[in-house]
Amino acid sequence: MNGVRCINNMSLYNLIRRPAAMAGLFLASVMLFTSCGSKSYSVPFDVNTTKSAFRFETNNSRSIASSFAENLAVVSGDMTPGEEISFGENSYGSAILVNVDKHEVMYSRNATAQLYPASMTKVLTAVVALENASLDTVLTANDNCVFTAGDVQKIGLKPGDTMTLDQALHLLLIYSANDVAALIAENIGGSIEGFSTMMNAKARELGATNSNFVNPHGLHDEQHYTTAYDMYLIFNEAIKDDTITQIIGMNSYTTSYKNSAGEEVTFSCDTTNRYLKGLVTSPSNVTVVGGKTGTTIAAGACLVQLSRDSAGRNYITCVMKGNNIDVTYSKTNSLLSMIDSN
């Protein structure tokens, strides 16, 4: 028992003969720090006391253990004012609005429902990439980075093509290039599978425990899923990085990378975010900073993004499984309209 010795009845009898104060102190210590006998002792959660399984204090106010979610918003059931549409042409699967600065969930609907994220996945891909490589890291494409399907967003990478991680992140987050996501995974994780393991480890670290990722791009797989709340946790981590925040706010990008012969290949692209394109207008008191879209047949239309009110306060919205793109942006705007301009 790791050096902890049980106390027999005779030892307890001798203790009782000691001064009462000493006996009480010792018996309390025995109950807390040994596992003798068949009973287990714990401190249950009690909302009426500061002594619980979630928090322990001492007389020194500086000796208070911080909880994991101290600087995070916590969702606890649906908060859905007004009429909600869960089926039909204007339906959506889940949504959440979080005041980032106050760590407050202002709205949630089905926020812990496991749904397909599509290309919102690439937010976590960027987080893991930046945590494990520098922006000037040179990435080289292999056969696993070649995507030939006509309906897949891509820049047309070929084996031997090279670019820096900085270039790759711009193409990943602005244009949502799936072959570039594979390029990042192959070079930083050693393989798609290896990088997916890194993604899941990071997700668990962030508390996104209702998610599972099997690729870096979000192309459909039944075992690849997340929740609106988990996307808040992941995106909240992403926007702590100035590089990601700067990239998601760009409406276009042009770069030149090299092919296997060392020749430059120029690629230009526009953002997939309709707010940044000027196709959707946010409420007058809200400025959209940027975010990440995601669309597949199975996932529907998804959008996670950062916005700010007129006082500079930060908000994260996430809408998943919109029946179509218009529904997702309309729902996002209804969430943004809940933000107080004062």
Whether residue 176 lies in the annotated active site: yes
Closest CA to 125 of 231, 39, 33, 196: 196
Catalytic hit among 94, 108, 122, 307? 122
Exactly one of 94, 108, 176, 196 is catalytic; which is it? Answer: 176
**Rounded (5°) CA angle 151-195-191:** 75
Which one is catalytic: 94, 108, 119, 211?
119
Rounded (5°) CA angle 112-115-238: 75
**Max CA pair span of the chain:** 90
Q: Per the structure block, which two tokens stand in for 159? A: 């084996």
Closest CA to 120 of 303, 326, 251, 328: 303
Place of tokens 């393989």: 191
Q: How far is CA 157 from CA 117, 129, 266, in A?
A: 24, 19, 12
Cβ partners under 8 Å of residue 121, min gap 6: 181, 213, 215, 216, 217, 218, 224, 226, 294
Q: Are 94 and 75 in contact (CB under 8 A)?
A: no
Instruction: Note if 119 is an active site residue.
Output: yes
Query: Does the annotation count 76 as an active-site position?
Result: no
Task: Count the helix, strand and coil residues of the chain and give each as a percent rounded to the nearest 5.
Answer: 30, 20, 50
Give the residue numbers marked as catalytic: 119, 122, 176
